Structure 1
Amino acid sequence: MNTEPLISTRQSPEWVTDMSSTNGERNILRDLSSAMWRRKWLIGATTALCFGLSAAVVTALPPVYRTSSTVLIEARRLPAATAEGATEVPVNSETATNELQVLQSRELLGQVVRHLGLERDPTFNRELRPSLLGTLTGEAAPELPAAGDEQAIDAAVSGLLRHLRVSLIGRSRAIEISLRAPDPMQAARIANTMAELYVAGQIARRAAETREFNTWINERLDELRVRARASARAVEEFRAAQGLVRGVARGDREADLLRQEIAEVNQQLTAARARQGEATARLAEAERALAARNMEGLAAVLGSQTIQQLRAQESQIAARQAEQTALFGSRHPTLAATSAELADVRARIQAEAQRILASFRSDLRLAREAEAGLTQRVDDLRAQVARLGTVEVQMQDLQREAEADRALVESFLARARGTSPEASGFQAANARLVSRAVAPREPYAPNRKILLPLALIVSLGFGGLAGLLAEARSRGFRSMDDIRRILGLNPLGILPLVRGRRDRAVAEDAAADLCARVLLPAEGRPPRSVLLTSAMPGEGKTTTAQALARAAAGRGLRVLLMDADLRGSPNAASGGEASGLAEVLRGATKAEDAVRHDPEAGLWLLPAGASRGSEVSRLLTSERLEKVLEQLERGYDLVVIDAAPALVGADIWRLARHADQTLFLTRWMHTPRSTVATALRQVLAAGGRVPGVVLTMVDTRKNARYGHGDAVMFSPAMQRYYADGRRSR
């Protein structure tokens, strides 16, 4: 529900704060209980009607009996899956679910219907039941169908499905077949027949499977026998073609010799690869030392006595050269001879190193050639062994194929013997009836001990719903709290509907209270002019204007009551005079001449005067209206303007803009809330200053029962107060 105000939220003055809904919170439980109490007769009648109908239906329901039989699903035996015999397939959830579907299949249920003749029973064949109209008119029931009528059987199967429930019992392998029927004996008979036909069907299916398996295995056995004979014949033909003796191969000894030679050559190949590795490493190390000019490392790698001797000479010559350089200097002739001698020694070292490296390279080449030769020899020997073994391998393949075909024939022979008619156990069903259904003594439904209290609860719910719907459909506003919450405006007061002297006293006090709120605002000066309007005619607008004017006059104020509803018929405010506001606005008379004094009420009256409907809008929107209102405000303390309804033409636009305050009136529980909101928007759009809304024509007796906070003003204690004419505590 939308709780946004229909107009605009304004801060309520302190003197209109509703203490029963402090901080804007409403007592939902209180409101709900009050609404239920207001609609108690509707709730009671709805509850009684619903419960009576429900009780009649429950009582008229025919009794229904339910019984059940139990079938146990056992491990399924597959015929001779191996040579040793049959194979058992364990029962799992999938197997149990499959059996549930079989039990609920239309094929099995059709067998039950045919066996028991249920197609002629109206309980299961709805087509045999007379229609409601036929029952009321006494029309004869439909004729029974002929035996074996497929359409009737199909209808009975559908009816049987509606009365049937098949389910697993817990986590066991037992299946419960439960059936409901108006006849207890019939329910037990159908449940047992269904279980018996299911078990018989299992046996028949097992026999059919065995026959099909025997046919297939015999055909397959004939094919395998032909294949085994062909395999054996191929072995003998290959042996004869290759000149083989049964059990001995001609090339077995030669193949053994070749394998022995291969082992020896492999040993030589391993040694050759080791020598090649050593030669490769030695050559690489020598080349690195030579490239780095590391003569000491090169001599160590090469292990040459010649290089070692040349290195010793090089050291001696180098020492002599250094000594000569120190004695004679770097340009002495002796030093040149020494340098030439040193260069010659070093050249000899390089030449010797290159010679040895060439020898290393030659050794590496020879090692690689030896390895390659041995590798080729091994490959040749292996090829010879492979060629010698080809015949043997082919022979072995043919023998294995022949043996496999012979073993397959023996296996199928064993399975054929296991599925022969003499073998026992293969026609046994994988389900058995473990519990037969018995006719119940007590009906399963309807359970009146549960249905009747439930019907009462539901009826109470419908009664409460009817009360809430009636409350929701009620028109208008009920309380000042509704005005504050829905419109977002201040509620200024409540004016009761006057029926007698007691109501008149209450109404006078309510009018005085409204006058006090209007003349004593929380902020600003008291208004000089107050406009009264409503959304629709007949909302007590004129009566309220008169009461407000009398209350203000009772305070000693000089009050003018002006009837600005030029479209309405003459009323009490007009005083029965022809001259009034219409004539003043036309300029036919002056305002002071049109005003009449009512000495009994103590106020002055300006009647509406005589006007035609076509000129009302022109008169009320003329510039002269504002001048007349200003003149009247200067001559009186308060001008009370009884205006036309806000939704009638544009009469209120200039009046609302000029008046100091505009009191908006709405009839209690009468004018729709949306209509009130529309009228208020129009008043505000015209520039009216609306301090709040007044509820009029309130039925004090009904309002006192509604439980609102403002209902205390019309409580029995307040009524006694006005009746006794004194205050009481």
Structure 2
Amino acid sequence: MNQHPVFVTNPDAGQGEPVAHEINIDQLLAIARRQWIVVAAAVVFALAIGTSYLLTAVPLFTASTSVLIDRGNSEVVQQLSTIGGVLDDEASVLSQVELLKSDTIGLATVDRLKLQNNPEFMASGGSFLATINSSIRSLLASIGLISRETGELIDPEEAFRRSALARLQGGLAIQRVGRAYVLEIDFTSPSPGMAAAVANAVAESYINDKLDAKYQATRRAGEWLQDRIEELRQQSLASDLAVQKFRAANGLVTAGNGLVSDQQLTELNSALIVARADTARAQARYDRIQEILASGQTDAIVTDALDSSVINTLRQKFLNASKLESEISKRLGPDHVQAVRLRQEMSEYNRLMFDELKRIAESYQSELEVARSRERNITEGVRKATGVSVAASETQVQLRELERSAEAYKNLYQTFLQRYQEAVQQQSFPVTEARVISNAVGPGVPSSPRRPLVLAISLVFGLILGCGIAAFREFRDRFFRTGDQVRDVLGVEYLGATPQIAKKTDTAVAAPGEKDIHFRSSVSNFSINYPLSSFSETLRSCKIAIDLNITKSSKIVGLVSTLPGEGKSTIALNLAQVLAKSGRTLLIDADLRNPGATRAIGQHAQAGLIQVLTEGVPYTSLLLHDATSGLDFLPVVVKRRITHSSELLASPQMHQLLTRVSAEYDYVVLDLPPLAPVVDARSIAGRVDGFIMVVEWGAVSRKVVKQTLVTEHQIAERTLGVVLNKVDVQKLKLYREYGSSDYYSSRYSSYYVDHET
């Protein structure tokens, strides 16, 4: 049964290789074994560069001073003045960082230390080229030719100040210490003393700038407030006078916090609510007792009935008579004169209680009328008071507007007056919210370059570079290395690997016309000389694949490769010799353009396959025979360049030849041309029972092999398996993964004999 290859395609890779869905630790370890020399070389190179930098770099010293944004001082200032704001939020602290980096602080520091006239400072820092460039620019600036920023003509003294400022800002670093209100000022210079002096000067310039800024702000505020206060005082007096005149003109009398009319209306509204509640309660009581009277229920209960002594007495008598009547009716019968009399008394009690309820109902009606009359009177009072209040409210709209205006002017006047007093005090109050908490001292150890850090960075860079190069090399390694790659990429059976064998040329020379096979090198009959070698074991694996997949008694097997030079003819020669040990075997060199098998064992032949196909010469007369293995070989003798080789292989003569040899031999092995350069193998594919593909290890791209099989459908469908040829056994160890068949190849050595014993 022929195997049909299933190609696994990665749509993103473009190489038709399997998609990796997870990290394979075994693959990573295998890659590390293969590429460790590259990684080590990159690390050594990076460390050499880092060491060279450390040996040539100019040591720099960094001095640090710390400034505290003192909230305690800010609270003292705030108690005396609201000018000078407390720094409570992060944005304010970061603003102070930017202030320390500004040109204002920088120029103040330059002027304080006269850095523009300090040769040590102006010549410090940078490489040799940077020093030359700075010197040229300073020279041009000193004679007033250019500006460092704009290129315009500037004053030489100002040019030196700006040059010193640029150097200062280049070596200055300001940062906030964590989440604290502490700012760290660092300055880096080749001179430790200069670094400490500049760092301290920057801190002092910052504090002086804060004091000066506060003084200027309070002075400007005081001048402006003084003019504004007089204007507000006049407006406040005018607005108060307008309020009083309006009250007097409209008769708006106040009592407490409101007008008298408003207070009366409020009281009447409260009384009206109470009166309406009383009326509703009296109406409910009256309606309820009317329902009782209308229904004739003498036993109905109302509140006043429970409190009435008359009704309670009558009800007690009614109950006593009812009890007595019930007892007499049980003993003497309901028609007894005493029972009849008691029932008459009970009826009279009911009538009397009903009359008493009517009198209670009349009292409820009187209370209802009184409540209604009171509600009407209060409602009329509310209506009149509302009219008065509405009229006053319309006037009050204007009054409230005047009062608001007067109150606003009054508050503004008081606020500005207070601010003016604070501003006057602030001008002479020498406290800021910043102070130095640690002064810079000359460092004894250079801060740059940091040798451990540089070496660590060099090491990491070397590792990254080495891993990158190693990854690139692995990515570019598109060749077949293991049997798992053959199965995953091509989807065909992996038959084994044959190691690379050193050729030893045979000194024997065949006489012209001799019918025996003469091996020109030891590679051509390696399987015969070393039957217990791994090379021979791979060929026996090929034989098993042929026997299992081809059920015919006579089997025609073609050996193909993708490119020339992959060792296809060598595998064909040795496989034919292995097959000859099991049955009659014929090897036909079917490569009409480059007959490698003929050059190896039949160079002395005078005629061959071409003569059989074109001239009708019997093939039996042209066969070469190997007495050792029993192999018959039909060579190819190319006397001139053949342009129609594919037509010869597809010709009826070739078909007749294969039919005749199939009847006489158990195995017919065809050494076919490679698939990529010519189409000869395709032309004869329909007459071959199975193909064995030879791929050179580590030399032929997986993409080329895969695309070739995809193109050659007929050959791909009949491919029995793939043999990896010319395997470098030492390098193969680097591609073994744990659990794969190649991983345990070292244990197979006891079963193989790959050399003479």
Same fold by TM-score greater than 0.5: yes
Q: 2:755 aligns with which of 722, 725, 729?
A: 722
For residues 96 and 441 of structure 2, the distance between their equivalents in structure 1, rounded to whole angstroms, comes to: 23
C-alpha displacement at 1:602, in angstroms? 3.8
C-alpha displacement at 1:547, in angstroms? 2.4
C-alpha displacement at 1:188, in angstroms? 1.8
1:176-215 alignment runs, 5 A limit: 176-215=184-223
| Match in the other structure for 1:670 | 699
1:523 is aligned with what amino acid?
L
| Match in the other structure for 2:586 | 560
| Match in the other structure for 2:665 | 636
Deviations 1:219-276 (A, max 9, x none): 22211331344356557867997999xxxx9999xx999999999x999989986885
Does residue 1:491 correspond to 2:505, yes or no? no
For residues 678 and 396 of structure 2, the distance between their equivalents in structure 1, rounded to whole angstroms, comes to: 122
1:276-287 alignment runs, 5 A limit: 280-281=283-284, 284-285=287-288
Q: Which moved more, 1:501-510 or 1:542-551?
A: 501-510
Shift of the 437–527 alpha-carbon distance from structure 1 to 2, 3 Å rule, reads: farther
Shift of the 430–594 alpha-carbon distance from structure 1 to 2, 3 Å rule, reads: same
| Match in the other structure for 2:613 | 585
C-alpha displacement at 1:195, in angstroms? 1.2
For residues 652 and 178 of structure 2, the distance between their equivalents in structure 1, rounded to whole angstroms, comes to: 93
| Match in the other structure for 1:319 | none
The alignment partner of 2:440 has SS state of coil
2:450 is aligned with what amino acid?
N
- Unpaired runs of 5+ in structure 1? 10-24, 304-356
Does residue 1:541 correspond to 2:568, yes or no? yes
1:316-331 alignment runs, 5 A limit: none
Shift of the 279–662 alpha-carbon distance from structure 1 to 2, 3 Å rule, reads: closer
- 8 A contact 1:77–1:86 mirrored in 2: no
Q: 2:380 aligns with which of 370, 376, 382?
A: 376
- 8 A contact 1:7–1:680 mirrored in 2: no
The alignment partner of 1:52 has SS state of helix
The alignment partner of 1:676 has SS state of helix
C-alpha displacement at 1:285, in angstroms? 4.7
Shift of the 657–106 alpha-carbon distance from structure 1 to 2, 3 Å rule, reads: farther
C-alpha displacement at 1:65, in angstroms? 0.9
1:241-320 alignment runs, 5 A limit: 280-281=283-284, 284-285=287-288, 288=291, 294=296
C-alpha displacement at 1:565, in angstroms? 0.8
Does residue 1:426 correspond to 2:429, yes or no? yes
Deviations 1:27-59 (A, max 9, x none): 5476345414xx64x555444333222211222
Does residue 1:607 correspond to 2:635, yes or no? yes
| Match in the other structure for 2:541 | 517
1:638 is aligned with what amino acid?
Y
- 8 A contact 1:535–1:676 mirrored in 2: yes
- 8 A contact 1:55–1:452 mirrored in 2: yes
For residues 269 and 707 of structure 2, the distance between their equivalents in structure 1, rounded to whole angstroms, comes to: 114
For residues 258 and 134 of structure 1, the distance between their equivalents in structure 2, rounded to whole angstroms, comes to: 91
| Match in the other structure for 1:343 | none
| Match in the other structure for 1:52 | 48
1:451 is aligned with what amino acid?
V
| Match in the other structure for 1:61 | 57
2:569 is aligned with what amino acid?
T
For residues 697 and 262 of structure 2, the distance between their equivalents in structure 1, rounded to whole angstroms, comes to: 126
What is the number of residues matched between the two proteins? 638
| Match in the other structure for 1:571 | 599
The alignment partner of 2:560 has SS state of strand
Shift of the 450–213 alpha-carbon distance from structure 1 to 2, 3 Å rule, reads: closer
The alignment partner of 1:209 has SS state of helix
The alignment partner of 2:479 has SS state of coil
Shift of the 187–651 alpha-carbon distance from structure 1 to 2, 3 Å rule, reads: same
- 8 A contact 1:65–1:443 mirrored in 2: yes
| Match in the other structure for 2:325 | none
Shift of the 574–359 alpha-carbon distance from structure 1 to 2, 3 Å rule, reads: same
1:117-136 alignment runs, 5 A limit: 131=129
For residues 97 and 574 of structure 1, the distance between their equivalents in structure 2, rounded to whole angstroms, comes to: 91
Shift of the 78–57 alpha-carbon distance from structure 1 to 2, 3 Å rule, reads: closer
Q: 2:449 aligns with which of 426, 446, 451?
A: 446
For residues 228 and 696 of structure 1, the distance between their equivalents in structure 2, rounded to whole angstroms, comes to: 109
When the two chains are superposed, the root-mean-square deviation of aligned CA atoms in Å is: 5.6
- 8 A contact 2:554–2:663 mirrored in 1: no
C-alpha displacement at 1:176, in angstroms? 1.5
The TM-score normalised by the length of structure 1 is: 0.69
- 8 A contact 1:122–1:129 mirrored in 2: no
| Match in the other structure for 1:347 | none
C-alpha displacement at 1:410, in angstroms? 6.2
Q: 2:438 aligns with which of 427, 430, 435?
A: 435
1:52 is aligned with what amino acid?
A
Does residue 1:658 correspond to 2:683, yes or no? no
- 8 A contact 1:79–1:210 mirrored in 2: no
For residues 117 and 529 of structure 1, the distance between their equivalents in structure 2, rounded to whole angstroms, comes to: 100
- 8 A contact 1:110–1:157 mirrored in 2: yes
- 8 A contact 1:518–1:527 mirrored in 2: no
- 8 A contact 2:265–2:389 mirrored in 1: no
Does residue 1:98 correspond to 2:122, yes or no? no
Shift of the 31–372 alpha-carbon distance from structure 1 to 2, 3 Å rule, reads: closer
Deviations 1:371-419 (A, max 9, x none): 4245324654787799999999999999998799678756655554443
Shift of the 475–276 alpha-carbon distance from structure 1 to 2, 3 Å rule, reads: closer
2:570 is aligned with what amino acid?
T
2:67 is aligned with what amino acid?
V
Shift of the 43–664 alpha-carbon distance from structure 1 to 2, 3 Å rule, reads: same
Shift of the 716–203 alpha-carbon distance from structure 1 to 2, 3 Å rule, reads: farther
For residues 652 and 205 of structure 2, the distance between their equivalents in structure 1, rounded to whole angstroms, comes to: 103
- 8 A contact 2:558–2:669 mirrored in 1: yes
| Match in the other structure for 1:331 | none
Deviations 1:611-641 (A, max 9, x none): 7533222222234433321211111232221
| Match in the other structure for 2:334 | none
| Match in the other structure for 1:230 | 238
Shift of the 288–6 alpha-carbon distance from structure 1 to 2, 3 Å rule, reads: same
- Unpaired runs of 5+ in structure 2? 9-23, 150-158, 306-360, 506-520, 737-741
| Match in the other structure for 1:645 | 674
